[in-house]
Structures are given as C-alpha cells and as structure tokens.
Amino acid sequence: MKRKCMILILITSLLLVSCSNYKELNSVSIVVAMGVDYIPKDNQYNMVLQIINPSAIASVTGSIGTPVIALEQKGRTISEAARNITKSVSRSNIYSHVALVVIGEKLAKEKTLNYIFDVFERDSKIRVNIPVVIARNDSVYHVMNNLPALDKLPAKSMVGKIKNTSSLLGENQEIQMRQVISALSSSGREPVINGAILEHETKTSETLDNFSTVKSSYNKIEGLGVIKKGRLVGWLDGGPAKSVQIIDNVIKETNLQIKCSKDEYDSMELTRVKTDTKVKMKGKIPIIHIKVKSIAIIDEVLCNDNFDKANTLKKYEVLSEKAIKQTLDEGIKKAQGYGADIFGFGDKLHLSDPKVFKKYEKNWNDQFQKAKVKIDVDVQINNVGMRKKAYPF
C-alpha cells in the first residue's frame, strides 16, 4: 500500500510540474527579419528588427494595421543595439523565426564581416541556415520594410524572390549565412552575397497604400556582392554573376541570347548544366580547366532560320558554346580584377592536392590573379519547341 501511494505521489508530481522557462504567446514578439548597418560618424551599429503584427495578419475579418512593425536602435556593438530595442517594445523578442538578415552596404565595405557574423553564429537563439543579402545603394531600413503587394510579410517576399530567380535566371543563388561563414573561414574561397534594391520608392512604400496602386514599389534581387578578406569590394551583374552559379554547379536552368542578325537575337533555354573543374599548379601559376556540358532548348526565334536542318542546329550549338565561354571568361576576369577567388578554385586544389595548396594558401588570392584558365563547352540542342520553322518575316 505504501509503495502504491509513493507511485501515486510521483505521478501526481510529474503532472503538476510545468516548464519553468515557457512564455505565453501574448507576451512575446516574433522577429522575422533583422538588418544591420554601420554609422561612421557615430562609430556605431544600427539594428533594424522587423516584427510580426499579430492583429494585422489574422485570417478573420477585421484585421487592422500593417503586417509588420519595424524598430531600430543604435549601439557600440550589434548586441547592444539589439538590447537597446527593448526600450521600444513591450514584449520580449523571439529570434528563432528570423527568415532573413540584411547587411548594409556601408557596413559590408567599411567593417569586416568576419566579426559581424560572429554574433549570429555565437548566439544559439539565431539560426545560420537563413538567407543573407546586402542592401545595395540604399539603407537597410528601406530595403527591408517595403510592404509587398503579393506577400504580407516583406521577409517572405524577398526570400521567395531569391528562390525564384535562382531557379529560373541563374544570376543568383540561395546564399545562406552558414555558407558565407564557411567561405569567410576558408583560405581557398571568398564569399559572394546577393544584393537587394528598392525599385519605384514612394512615400507610401512602407504603408498599406502601396497595395492600392498598379505601379507599387518593390524590393528586387540585384547582383552578387564580391567579398574579399571580409569586406565588400565590388559587384557582379548579368553574365559575370551567372558564371559563379555555373562553376558552382547550382544552375537549375537559365537563358542565353544568341545574336542571329545585326539587331536581333534568338533565345535558348539551358537545362542540365553540369560543370567539372580541375585545378593544378604549373610552377607558381594555377592552371584551371573548366568543362561545361548542357542541354539546350530553342524557346524564342526572331530570325528566319529553319531549325528543321541539322546545320542550323549545329550553328546555334556553336554560337551558344561561345556565349557560355564568354560569360565564364568575363566572370573570372572580373573576379581576378577584384583579387577574390569567389569560385572556390583554391578549395578544389586543396581537395586534389593538399600539400601543394599548403604552399600557397596564405596568399591564394594573389595566385588566383595570375591563373590561366581553359574553358571547354559542349551544348546539345534537343528541342526546338512546338515549331521547327519560324514564321515568315
């Protein structure tokens, strides 16, 4: 009997015990995006937090207000700036749902990102598998807090745009904070970070009135920021930006414009793009050999060519191979101009020949600037769409 009583007391105790660190939902604020910039004249960091407004995103009729609330404060460190925000909010901030981090261009240029990302990786409350972007030619606050017409949450909108353009255009890729940290820690690769800008900015960009106009303002993914030794040193746009994704083997599909006359272009869709890269040292010069294979589909014809003929297809295969080679060549030369191996050629040499790479890892970027590159491209057209002959012009 005594034993039964003890068991009953034990079970009752377990049922009555609750979590000591739980928090009620109405006592917390959920942070969905964070922005960090640098103010040189104050030598301080500016922190912007984007917090969900529960009353505005409720599904029931009668929701009021903007879907997010933006708060900002300054501090001598990022941690101090974040804690200073507590003066402006009545609830404790929860950072486990942060979906996006925005870095100011001034911060990326003037302060090393090696220390900026330290606070994110060191703090267990923040995940590092989230996208990071640089606010290009604009303030972090403006780029973050434009209210999009299609999505309620600005952070969700920007993350969706990164995924969309990465899948279809290929000038950007889904770059997460952990990838940037890994590249910053590597001696054989420098990171790249997606840029973001605000288009058609108006006085109503941060209000619900932005929904009520056809030509509303919107944030846009624009270019790749080149990082060298933790600092932003320049930007890649268009073809040179696409070269990073091709060499990284992350292109899902993309598009090529093939000049078919003096003023006209035909369009080709590239799928199944596979790249193999070999790096070796010859003397003190890196020799880089890049092989690209791809399947192509003709998706737009503005010249009167007959794709029913084998020689026409062959002509376009050769033209597309030259176009891809030019894209890669331009991208590599621009990166060499910046003195930043953003393609990870050093990492590839390290994997294939660790002893040789050890000799050059301390000044690998200098070696990369001297590198000689050979590019081989093989494109096969296996589809011309629903028509073989163009409309008569």
Q: Which segments in the chain show pLDDT lower than 50?
A: none
Residues 6+ positions from 39 with CB-CB distance below 8 Å = 45, 46, 74
Is beta strand 100-104 parallel, antiparallel or unpaired with respect to 231-236?
A: unpaired
DSSP state string for 252-265: -EEEEEEE-SSS-E
Specify the pTM.
Answer: 0.88
Residues 6+ positions from 231 with CB-CB distance below 8 Å = 108, 109, 110, 111, 112, 113
The pLDDT, as a whole number, for residue 123 is 72
Task: Decide: 38 and 107 in contact? Cβ < 8 Å.
Answer: yes
Other CB atoms within 10 Å distance of the CB of residue 245: 23
The pLDDT, as a whole number, for residue 147 is 86
The pLDDT, as a whole number, for residue 128 is 85
Task: Decide: 101 and 181 in contact? Cβ < 8 Å.
Answer: no
Identify the architecture of domain 238-393 in CATH. 2-Layer Sandwich (3.30)
Q: Distance (Å, rounded) from C-alpha 208 to C-alpha 16?
A: 47
Residues 6+ positions from 189 with CB-CB distance below 8 Å = 183, 341, 342, 343, 344, 345, 346, 347
**Share above pLDDT 70 across residues of the chain, in percent, rounded to a whole number:** 88
Domain boundaries, the chain: 25-236, 238-393
Angle between helices 177-185 and 113-122 (to 10 degrees): 120
